[in-house]
Amino acid sequence: MSSCYDLVVIGAGSGGLAAAKRAASHGARVAIVEGDRVGGTCVIRGCVPKKLLVYGSLVHEQMRDAGSYGWPVQEVACDQARLLSSVRAEVDRLNARHIELLATAGVELIRGWARFSGPNTVQVTPCHGDDSGRELVLEGRRLLIAAGGRPHRPAIPGADLAWMSDDMFLQQRFPEKVVVVGAGFIACEFAGILTGLGVRVTQLVRGDHLLRGFDREASAMVLEGMRDHGVDVRLTHSPAAIEGSPGALTVLSQSGERLDCGGVLLATGRRPALAGLNLEAAGVAVEGHRIPVDADQTTNVPHIHAVGDVTDRVNLTPVAIDEGRAFADTVFGNRPRRVNHDLVASAVFSQPELAGVGLSEEQAVQRHGEAGVKVARARFRSMARALPKTGSRCLLKLVLRADDERVLGCHMVGEHAAEIIQMAAIAVGMGATKADFDRTMALHPTVSEEFVTMG
């Protein structure tokens, strides 16, 4: 096997896979290096298995509500081991499928951990368990860093006793009580999952609100809904230490409170996975914890590029995929294009679900001033909650530029929020105004019709 390639990709996650396959389709000779499973965070320990757990956790609520629709169901408990095993089996299938797709695309998959040995060369150390013992040196005309991110473990005493988000998918079952630390989407999503699976959850939040960066009114609705769902969310609470042994832990808060539990999840953010890449050998600059790149995904070294979470811009799977494809189209396909990072829809699969696109109300006011922003909103309980008479309220919200009522942001909390916002993103991206929304005939009875009927 020749060691010279048109492109060497470090990391077989979403961005790396997209770039490798697209570059190969343009005729480039491509190698992709991966020491872990193929698929990256999203497929192996992120979006996909997490969403499957969300679906599993929602069944309890559906069964609880079934009686109000004439389907009385006796109380049952979740077979957590079976659910987690099924999720892992699906991840195995997807991992195998991604390997097949690489082969079909003509991309050479090289197993091992990559580190730069020079500006154009990458040294690959075999994976643990590979008895070949051969270290390879790959040379690339272009090199792409797509190593992704890793959970960040905070520096508190006993932090090693806690789970990180990656560990959640490896459990056989969850304990009766879990403390979740964090305010971001991972913390909120796992708090909902665990609660739905019958776990008593206490969530410690350092600040005074959840989901920093999302619309504040929307995040407040999520907080209200999570508490209705049974999550004990404690704002302005931080852990000072974790004591005990696995299965019998105590979280000491900075206020002196002691919380006994069977497990602790530290969902306290992620950082680019740059350790071990030996970027200095290639002369690649690092800014803080990230690799800075220009609009063409190029680092300070003209033939070395980076996409996805290592750049720490918009750390979402579809963004990494588009960055990877844009890079390949520009460099190998003679079809230059750039990714628009300004209008990216995002969702939190919390319970209730949150999704949005465009500017939050706070961002719009910061950009246009209070007088330059108008807001249209609707708050209500959906028809799905009419018979059970339980559940949290929905929020649908349009953030408008005051002078022409152009929609600057569209946000929703409630059932199917992500599915609805995906379509709304098209309208926002086209520059729709409130009048355009108003002219759209409502589809009744639906939750989403409130977007086109609100005053």
In the residue annotation, 368 being an active-site residue is answered as: no
The residue annotated as part of the active site, out of 98, 289, 368, 444, is: 444
How many helices and strands in the chain, by DSSP H and E? 11, 21
Spatial CA neighbour of 62 closest among 424, 413, 391: 391
- Average pLDDT for the chain: 96
Nearest to 92 by CA among 20, 44, 30, 29: 44
Encoded amino acid at 232, one letter: D
pLDDT confidence band for 1 (50 / 70 / 90) = very low
Q: Is the pLDDT reported for residue 132 higher than 70? A: no
pLDDT at 2 over 60: no
**Nearest C-alpha neighbor of 151 from the set 319, 266, 292:** 266
pTM confidence score: 0.95
Model confidence band, residue 129 (pLDDT cutoffs 50, 70, 90): low
Asked if residues 122 and 10 have their Cβ atoms less than 8 Å apart, the reply is yes
Q: Which residues contact 343 (CB under 8 A, 6 or more apart)?
A: 357, 358, 425, 428, 429
For the chain, domains (ranges, CATH) are 4-46+83-150+271-332 (3.50.50.60), 159-268 (3.50.50.60), 352-453 (3.30.390.30)
3-state secondary structure of 387: coil
Q: What is the pLDDT of residues 173-185, one digit of tens each?
A: 999 999 999 999 9
The arrangement of strands across the sheet holding 373-380 comes to 346-348, 354-358, 407-413, 394-401, 373-380
Q: What is the pLDDT of residues 32-46, one digit of tens each?
A: 999 999 999 999 999
Look at residue 76 and tell me whether its pLDDT is greater than 90.
no
**For residue range 233-260, what is the model confidence (pLDDT) as tens digits?**
999 999 999 999 999 999 999 999 999 9
